[in-house]
Amino acid sequence: MELLERILEKKNMHEAIKRVRQNGETFGVDKMDMEEATSYYFEHEEGIAEQIRNRKYTPSPVRRVYIPKGNGKLRGLGIPTIVDRFIQQGMLQVLQPIFDQKFSENSFGFRPGRAAEQAIIKVLEYFNDGYDWIVDIDLEKFFDKVNHDKLISLVAKTIPDGDVVSLVRKFMQSGVMEDRLLKPTKVGTPQGGNLSPLLSNIMLNELDRELEVRGLNFVRYADDCIIVVKSEKAANRVMESITKFIEKKLDLKVNMEKSKIARPNEIKYLGFGFFHKKDKWRPKPHLRSVQKFEDKLTLLTKRNNGKVWQK
């Protein structure tokens, strides 16, 4: 069965609908709620599939929303319509296993059976093996900066199905609706879509492979990547050379103000800080993460008039 037909197969799509329904009801630009979108899809299922086969399906623009980040700033998300999320999830279920087997063992974000805790364990292994000089590279607005042509070429290398590649590009270029204005998306893969995490891993797998070719130890969770070496001199050398690779080969931007060379007790990684005790580096929840949790707890107690637990 061709790849596109595997995606459009009713069993796959119905599983996709089930998963999207489990994940919540945030609506897109069409303002359809979950029940309306589900009814609409089942009523037009054959027509939607035929449009996709003939490359005539046009995804709706994503709806721009903003959520607060830990540093007080806002993160922009792009929320697809629920019907588009059904289709993206159907694509993800078929494409994820194909790409996942090509990803690095040191990549932990947005992958089945992997989690941030495993990334922290790997980081500690490196620290305690003497790799305790850290090259912490910050990618500037990664999800907003991804070069479409570069990413599509990487997808096409693994997926020799032009219909599927075309559909991926359509979702990437569907546009963003903000303040009732439609803005084109010539670069980037907006956070909020079901495909976005996979697409980010496809792009950053190029960085992983380059680090492996160079024999460097690293851990990556989504766009949070740290490289570990044994000396400050090596760290400076790696910072310079990898920054050049990222900017010239991947066409991404490194934020030099946030990127740094540090020791384990000077960084926050995936919500954890690190301290040295009894000749070993050990993890602890970072102070900023603890404060964030306490702030959320305070908000919850206020909403419940001080009664968090109610029987």
Report pLDDT for 184: 87
CA distance 133 to 8: 48
On whether the pTM is more than 0.85, the answer is yes
Ranges of the chain whose pLDDT falls below 50: 293, 304-311
Residue 293's pLDDT is 46
pLDDT digits (tens, 9 = 90+) for 104-140: 999 999 999 999 999 999 999 999 999 999 999 999 9
